[in-house]
Chains A and B, each alone.
Chain A
Amino acid sequence: MSKKILTIDDSKMVRMIVTSTFQPFDCTIVGAADGAEGVTVALQEKPDLIFLDITMPVLNGIETLAKIRETPEIAAIPVVMLTAESDGERLGMADKLKVSGYIAKPFKGDQLIALTKKIIPLAPKPPADPKKP
C-alpha cells in the first residue's frame, strides 16, 4: 500500500531533495513551507510519516511538533526531525515530544531512506501501467 510522507521545511531545496530521494518508492510526498501550514496539511493528508525542520518562520519545528502531539487526529503520526540544529537543548526538547528519529543536516538521501524503513514499510514503486494514458 502506498505511503504518504509530509516534509515540513521552509527550504524549497530540502523539499526537492526529499521528493527526489523517495522517487523510487511507492509513496507520495507532500510538502509544507512552515509549521502552521504543516499542521494544516497533516490534518488534511494524514501522512504516515513527517519530516520536520526546526528553524522555520511562523511556527518553528519544536512548536509544530508540540502542536502535532496535542492534536488527537495526528498525534500518533511518527515524526523525524530533519534539521541543522542538534544541540543538547533541541535534542532534549524533541526527545520529550517523542520523535521517532533525528537527522542532523547536512544529510544524504540514504540516511532518510534507512531511517524511514525502520519506521514504516517502504515498497518499490510498481512499474507504470502501459494502458494508462
Chain B
Amino acid sequence: MVKCIKNSGYLKQNQCPLKGSNPFGTVLTKAFELIRAFIMQLVRSVAHSMTRDERSLCVPPSSTFAEHFQRGNLKTKAPLREFTGFFPPSGRSEGYAPSFFSLYTIPRALMAMSDTLLKKYQIAALPENVLRLGQLIQGAFATNAHEIAKIIKADPAISDRVMKIATRGRDIDMDIDSAVVRIGVDKITLVVMSELLLHAVKRTFATMLSIALEPTETINPYGDQMVGCIHFKGKATGRVFLRIPCKAANSFATRFLGKDLPAEPAELFPEIVGELLNIVGGNFKSNLVDAGLPCSLSVPKVETKTGFAVDLSGDEHHLSVPFTADAMGMFLDLIISPVTDSAAN
C-alpha cells in the first residue's frame, strides 16, 4: 500500500507548492510536513489492520486500477469500499487540493455487499466466524502463528478445540501460539469451518425440529444410522456427513411435520435427514462464499449404515464433532482438502 501511496501524485513531488512563493511558506511547509506524517501514520495503522487481500487493493484515486475495478475487470465481484473519514473524498487529487489520496479496499470477508441485502430481506446477520475464516484464509499463508492465534483466540469454542487437537486431549501446559504451530493452518481452517457447520446444525435443529443441540465429548456406539452426505467443490472442497441414529425416525418426523403426519412417518426419515443436511450444507456453503471461498454444493445423498468409515485422500483433513439432540448421540463430520494460497486468492 505504501508503494501505491508513494506513486500517487501528491507524494511523488513531496513538497509544498506554496514553498518559496508565499510569505508564510516556511510555516505552511512545516504544517504540510506534519499533516503528511500524520496521514502516513494513519495509513500505516489502517494497512496493518487489513488482510493481505485488502492491502493489495489499496490504490490512489487516479489509478487505472480503480477504474478497472469499478468496471468489473478484476476477478473479484466484491465492490470497492472507499476509506472515508480519514481522508477527504477523491476527485480533487490534481495539484495540491486537500484530497491527497484515497484508499479502496475489498470489504472484510466480502461482507459489505450482503450487509445491505441482509437488512433489506431481514435475513440474520452472518456468524462472527465467517469473518474469522475470511481473515484466516486471506491472511494466514503470509502471516505468523501469533497473528493466526489472535484470530482464533476471539472465539473460545475454536480456541478450546484447537487446544484439544494440539494436546490430543492430554493435560499439557500449552499456549495458543504453540498450539497453532503444532497443528498447522490446515487443521485450524478445518476447526473454524467445523464451528460454522455446527452453528448451522444448531440453528437448523432448533428451527425445524425444536431441538436444542448440545456438543459432547464422546458418544457410545449405536446401531443403524441414517448417514447423509453432501459435497462442496470450488475454492473450498470437501464433504459433510450428518449421522443420525435410525431410532430417531419417528420423533424427527413428528417434529418436522407436526400434525400432518403420514401413516408411516418413519418412511420419511431419509427425506428428513436429506433436507436437514441440505439446509445445513446451504448455510455452510453461503458462509464459505461470504468468507471468500466460492464453491458449489451437491444434492444430498442419504443411506442407512451400521458402521461409519471415510476414505481420506492423502492431503484431506477430517474432523468429527459428536453432539446430542433429543437425548440421542449424533455426529457431524467435516472433511476438507487444504485451502491453498492460490485458492484463497
Please give the residue numbers on chain A whose beta carbons come within 8 Å of chain B beta carbons, in ascending order: 10-14, 16-17, 19-20, 23, 54-55, 57, 83-92, 95, 101-102, 104-108
| B260 in contact with A13 (CB, 8 Å) | no
In the complex, the 7 A-B pairs of residues with the closest C-beta atoms, listed nearest first: A84-B282, A88-B114, A106-B207, A102-B121, A87-B286, A87-B289, A91-B117
Please name 8 further chain A to chain B contacts, defined as beta carbons within 8 Å, in addition to the given A85-B285, A87-B289, sorted by A numbering: A11-B278, A13-B274, A86-B283, A87-B114, A88-B111, A95-B117, A105-B279, A106-B203
> Which residue from A10, A13, A23, A55 sits with its C-beta under 8 Å from B282?
A55
Whole-angstrom distance between the Cβ of A58 and the nearest chain B Cβ: 11
Query: Majority SS of interface residues in chain B?
Result: helix
B204 interfacial contact with A, CB 8 Å: yes
Q: Which residues of B contact A (CB under 8 A)?
A: 77, 110-111, 113-114, 117-118, 120-121, 123-124, 203-204, 206-208, 256-260, 268, 271-272, 274-275, 278-283, 285-287, 289-290, 294, 297, 299
Q: Which residues of B contact A83 (CB under 8 A)?
A: 282
**Contact between B208 and A55, CB atoms less than 8 A apart:** no
The answer to whether B278 and A90 touch across the interface, beta carbons within 8 angstroms, is no
- Is the Cβ of B279 less than 8 Å from the Cβ of A95? no
A20-B258 in contact given A12-B271, A87-B114 (Cβ < 8 Å)? yes
Residues of B within 8 A of A101 (CB): 121
Minimum CB–CB distance for B234 against chain A, Å: 12
Residues of B within 8 A of A55 (CB): 278, 282, 297, 299
The reply to whether B77 and A89 form a contact with Cβ atoms under 8 Å apart is yes
* 8 Å CB contact of A57 from B118, B206, B272, B299: B299
